[in-house]
Amino acid sequence: MFLDVKRLEINRIDEEIINLIISRNLISDEIIKFKIDNDFGVYDKNRELSIINNLKSKFKDSIDPLLIEELYSKILFYSKKEHIDIIKNSKLGQIVKDKPFLIAGPCSVESEEQIHKIASDLAKFGIKYLRGGAFKPRTSPNTFQGLGNIGIKYLSDAAHSNDMKVVTEVMSANQLKENYKYIDIIQIGSKNMFSYQLIKDIAEINKTNNKPIILKRNFNATLKELIYASEYLRNENQSNIILCLRGIRTFEQIESRLRFTPDLASIVELRKLTDLPIIFDPSHSSGDAEFVLELSKGALAMGVDGLIIETHYNPSESIVDAKQTISYTVLKKIFLFIEQIRLGIE
Ligand code: PEP
Ligand code: MN
């Protein structure tokens, strides 16, 4: 008897809650429509934060603030879900639309045909940033060193004819000078994170255009050393710096199949040390294609701003880093995961 009565009461309250949410959504729809008609930005992150914070402080003694936070992020998400396309096209939407962003492509540019095929394949999936090395910092000087200048030209033609941006590594100031106009995002590789003169030279060449620069963590570098390396760029007025975590060397490599130890926890720590965007490279971090999907999801869950991933239409055919190169099937899964995060805009 007692239970029946109480359950009925609970059912009635639940219905009341749902009815209140419906009424709330109707008002929120009216507001969104008003904003659209009057050309206001539709999405106001500060307003959302203030709603949640006010409720949290008002009811902090009677209800767990975490419940309010979770409940309201869901309520707010669903109230704007139907308007997501409009939000995406709004000014703020433009900024968050590409975040997290995905840079993908082969480890190295192998031929004109190879890079053109990969560029058009990836563009069809909706990927906007094409990676590919033309100057490869190979551990052994007796292996393929990349196609050099002509490789960058192929890469640039392939990317730009598919409306994509070029991401590529240079290992010397001359390489950058000669190829500057073909490159959209300059990569400073892991092995060169400690090459301070090169870093300064790159900043000098890039000083008027301020193109984005990806600075990869050396696999033996502390996070502080990574930050210091980025300050070499900052001190030369570079403001488009992106830090990239790409695995570090630990005792794990003695036995594990991992090429490096994925430095996922560093994402959290680095966030506290810098306001620069942080991306993660699951390919070099693990050195094994089988790890790339899970590592990508992990890094995204930990809040990276982007990923840089090696892929090829036939991974085993890759001249460099075949083992860690993922198929399009896996790449699509990662891209889908990213799209879901983007839709969540929060
Ligand atoms: C690369 O991304 O092409 C590369 C060589 O990676 P890393 O510098 O991290 O070894
Ligand atoms: Mn590689």
Q: What's the pLDDT tens digit per position in 178-226?
A: 999 999 999 999 999 999 999 999 999 999 999 999 999 999 999 999 9
Over residues 314-334, the mean pLDDT reads 97
Specify the pLDDT at position 211: 95
Any alpha helices (H) in the chain, and if so which ranges?
2-37, 45-58, 65-81, 84-89, 91-97, 112-125, 149-160, 173-179, 196-205, 223-234, 265-273, 282-286, 289-301, 328-343
Which residue from 129, 216, 320 has its CB within 8 A of the most atoms of ligand 1, so it is best to mutate?
216
Q: Is 190 in the pocket of ligand 1 (CB under 6 A)?
A: yes
Q: Is 169 in the pocket of ligand 1 (CB under 6 A)?
A: yes
- Ligand 1 centroid to residue 244 C-alpha, Å: 10
The residue whose CA has the least distance to atom 10 of ligand 1 is 190
Give tens-digit pLDDT for 264-293: 999 999 999 999 999 999 999 999 999 999
59-96 b/e (C-beta count within 10 Å ≥ 16 → b): eeeeeeeeebeeebeeebeebbeebbeebbebeebeeb
For the segment 42-84, what is each residue's pLDDT rounded down to a tens digit? 667 778 889 999 999 999 999 999 999 999 988 988 887 777 6
* Burial status of residue 189 (CB atoms within 10 A of its CB: 0-12, 13-18, 19 or more): buried
**Residue 209: in which H helix or E strand, if any?**
none
Residue nearest to atom 9 of ligand 1 (CA): 190
Give the number of the ligand closest to the Cα of residue 285. 1
Counting ligand 1 atoms within 8 A of each CB, the residue from 138, 175, 187 with the most, and so the one to mutate, is 187
C-alpha 144/C-alpha 33 separation (Å) is 58
Q: Tokens representing 238? A: 């570079």
Q: Answer yes or no: is the C-beta of 284 below 6 A from any ligand 1 atom.
A: yes
**How close is the Cα of 138 to the center of ligand 1, in Å?**
9
83 lines ligand 1 (CB under 6 A): no
For residue 310, report the distance from its CA to the centre of ligand 1, in Å.
10
**Alpha carbon 191 to chain centroid, angstroms:** 22
Cβ of 162 closer than 6 Å to ligand 1, yes or no, is no
**What is the CA(343)–ligand 2 centre distance, in A?**
30
- Torsions phi, psi for 210 (to 5 deg): 50, 45
On the CB side of 166, CA atoms within 13 Å amount to 27
Q: Which of 314, 308, 307, 290 minimizes the C-alpha distance to 342?
A: 307
Give the count of alpha carbons within 13 A of 326, CB side only: 27
Whether the pLDDT of residue 145 is over 90: the answer is yes
pTM as predicted? 0.77
CA within 13 Å, CB half, 311:
29
Return d(Cα 111, Cα 106) in angstroms, integer: 11
Q: Which atom of ligand 1 is nearest to the CA of 136?
A: 5
Q: Is 216 in the pocket of ligand 1 (CB under 6 A)?
A: yes
Query: Measured between alpha carbons, how far is 176 from 195 in angstroms, rounded to an integer?
Result: 15
Ligand 1: nearest atom to the Cα of 217 = 9
CA distance 151 to 323: 22
pLDDT for the residue 92 = 45
189 lines ligand 1 (CB under 6 A): yes
Helix (H, G, I), strand (E, B) or coil at 85: helix
Burial environment of residue 181 by CB neighbours within 10 A (0 to 12, 13 to 18, 19 or more): exposed
Which residue would you say has higher pLDDT here, 239 or 318?
318
- Closest listed residue to residue 310, CA positions, set 297, 328, 294: 328
Does the CB atom of residue 212 touch ligand 1 within 6 A? Answer: no
DSSP codes of every residue in 36-77: HHTT--S--HHHHHHHHHHHHHHTTTTS-HHHHHHHHHHHHH
C-beta 217 within 6 A of ligand 1:
no
